[in-house]
Chain A
Amino acid sequence: MALIELAGIERRFQLGDTTVKALAGIDLTIDAGEYVAVMGPSGSGKSTLLNLLGLLDRPDIGHYRLEGRDVTTLSADEQAKVRSTRIGFVFQSFHLVPRLTAAENIALPMMLAGIAPAERARRVTAALKDFGLDQRADHKPDQLSGGQRQRVAIARATIMQPPLILADEPTGNLDRHTGEDVVNLLEALNARGVTLIVVTHDPGMGERARRRLVMEDGRLQSDSAGAPG
């Protein structure tokens, strides 16, 4: 079943008095459970694509159907609701809240969703164990190593059990070894059925994905699944 269907997506930005097409005519279908790497040079539009898939940005033209539902026409609050329950984000710079502990950072999406504290505590404890962070629950982000921070971020992205995880250069700020750990974690999630879309510069990481999209100048240059836009 198609989790994501993009049809004729176009996203333009105004830079001074010239209009730049960050995305132009993207047609793309991603099935549930796929592991997709989005690659391409800087400025090729891959981050814009990821923002769009994460409902952080809206296309100027075209339609985006998530789980069969057209999400481009939803109101901002409805989109927030979709982000809360259906999408998990992993960022290159982790984006942890510095004043909150690891446990509180992981619990943040559940707190925003209004989940009861008891249920939150239960899920956080389980997540800390799963991600090998039980000894770090009360540490602030600045007391954690880079790898630990990204594990906290991944735990946070998965705590609402979303079917889709979007990762923007998840290993970009990590050394080779730690990056390897993080990729393994993400792939383990994918193995459990979560759809994983990773934006990366790293050809090695791209190789590991079952499907590779290469972008250039806002267009899909190639698609290893043999269905280029």
Chain B
Amino acid sequence: MRPADILRFARDAAAGYPLRTTLSVLAMAIGVAAVVLLTALGDGARRYVVGQFSSLGTNLVIVLPGRTGTGGFNPATAITSTPRDLTIADAQALLRAPAVRRVGPLAVGTSEISAGGRLREVMVAGANRDFFAIRNFELAQGEALPDDDWQRAAPVAVIGAKVQEELFGREPALGRLVRVGDRRLRVIGILRPTGQGLGMNTDELVIVPVALAQAMFNSNTLFRILVEARSREAIPAASTQVLELLKQRHRGEEDVTVITQDAVLATFDKLLGALTLAVAGIAAISLAVAGILVMNVMLVAVTQRTGEIGLLKALGAPARTIRLAFLTEAAMLSASGALVGYGLGEAGAFALRQLFPVFPAYPPDWAVIAGLLTALSTGLLFGFLPARRAARLDPVQALMKH
């Protein structure tokens, strides 16, 4: 029998029982659509988180006071006690490292801010001009902190969009005086609203010169030093140079932790990648179920068409031809189911992206390919048993059932 004839014969046979064919195609389609859509969700979550982390700044190396056992990202690093303070002088020293482009010291605390009789509590960040560049902070009005001596506590502040709105409403805020703690500061800049993201919410932040913040909170230590490496390739060099410099300055004691954004990203990437894989695995179960359904449909087809199989044998069809015809039919059911499912999955992912534009719900290529291949191979695998049963039917017995 010619391949084109086998294809046409299988197609006509499938078309001869529209309801059964539709149902098994649908089952396969749902399985594949589940794989496509769920992996799109998982991978979208991964991309979203990675994107959020990248927005913290590029080529970032973060210095934390204190030493943690592992180099990875650990919530405990935020609360460990500090053996030796990380000072502004330490931060300035890091500029000497050849792989370092910018250094942004960061001191944080909470305080009250008031203006025109309104008062609210805010998070105060002590920083410098480079800190804005490192964190990609954009200004809606005014300018960033002055680029002068880090030790100088100029009485100026850059405020977040929400702070501005709550204190001044629609009135212009630039150039006005605000009271933060017991200091009177001039507003020189207003941050562009960014909304909630990972890291701190800049809309409710007040940024002042780092020396001023330390004076306000009566402390000499820094919360973090953010270091921007000269390039992506320079990140490991910057990391070792920073560690070496600080070790020298701290009398040979390695009492800081240096983490790179890459390490944090890699951890999240791995975590969410595993999640996507797990979700894909769960979806694959529905594919197996669909495969069993295709087998069931084909077994029913063999029973229903027993007379026809007997006839084909009488007309001189060898067992191989009959096996091939039924296998082709099973493959066709699963292939069309897989294609319909792929279309449904892509449509679902598209709808998701329309509903949540910030969420990059694209199914990863590996999942699409694996989903389609699994659908086809389960179809063939589960089609094999019915096809073999058909080919083995005794022609005399088969002809009697008509």
Which residues from chain A sit less than 8 Å from chain B, CB to CB?
Answer: 51, 54, 56-57, 76-77, 80-85, 89, 91, 93, 95, 97-100, 108-109, 111-114, 156, 160
Give per-residue flags for B312-333: 1 if the beta carbon is below 8 A from chain A beta carbons, else 0. Answer: 1111111111000000000000
Q: How many Cβ-Cβ contacts under 8 Å join chain A to chain B?
A: 68
Size bin of chain B's contact surface: 20 to 34
Decide: A80 and B313 in contact? CB cutoff 8 A: yes
Decide: A112 and B311 in contact? CB cutoff 8 A: no
Closest chain A residue, CB of each to CB of B315: A109
Q: When chains A and B are docked, how far (Å) is the Cα of A160 from the Cα of B317?
A: 13
A113: chain B residues at CB < 8 Å are 1, 316
Decide: B1 and A100 in contact? CB cutoff 8 A: no
Give per-residue flags for B1-17: 1 if the beta carbon is below 8 A from chain A beta carbons, else 0. Answer: 11001000100110110
Of A54, A81, A111, A156, the most chain B CB neighbours within 10 A belong to: A111
B348: chain A residues at CB < 8 Å are none
Decide: A95 and B307 in contact? CB cutoff 8 A: yes
Decide: A89 and B396 in contact? CB cutoff 8 A: no
B340 interface residue (CB < 8 Å to A): no
B9: chain A residues at CB < 8 Å are 111
Which residues from chain B sit less than 8 Å from chain A, CB to CB?
Answer: 1-2, 5, 9, 12-13, 15-16, 307-308, 310-321, 395-396, 399, 402
A84: chain B residues at CB < 8 Å are 315-317
Decide: B399 and A80 in contact? CB cutoff 8 A: no
CB distance from B376 to the nearest CB of A (A): 25
Q: When chains A and B are docked, how far (Å) is the Cα of A57 from the Cα of B315?
A: 14
Decide: A100 and B316 in contact? CB cutoff 8 A: no
Q: Contacts A56-B396, A95-B307, A100-B12: A108 and B315 contacting too (C-beta < 8 A)?
A: yes
A156: chain B residues at CB < 8 Å are 315
Decide: B12 and A99 in contact? CB cutoff 8 A: yes
Decide: B316 and A112 in contact? CB cutoff 8 A: yes
Q: Contacts A80-B317, A80-B318, A113-B316: A97 and B402 contacting too (C-beta < 8 A)?
A: no
Closest chain B residue, CB of each to CB of A86: B316
Q: Which of B307, B320, B396 contacts A77 (CB 8 A)?
A: B320
Decide: A57 and B318 in contact? CB cutoff 8 A: no
Decide: A112 and B312 in contact? CB cutoff 8 A: yes
11 additional A-B residue pairs with CB within 8 Å, beyond A83-B316, A112-B316: A51-B396, A56-B399, A83-B315, A84-B315, A91-B399, A95-B402, A99-B12, A111-B5, A111-B9, A112-B1, A112-B317
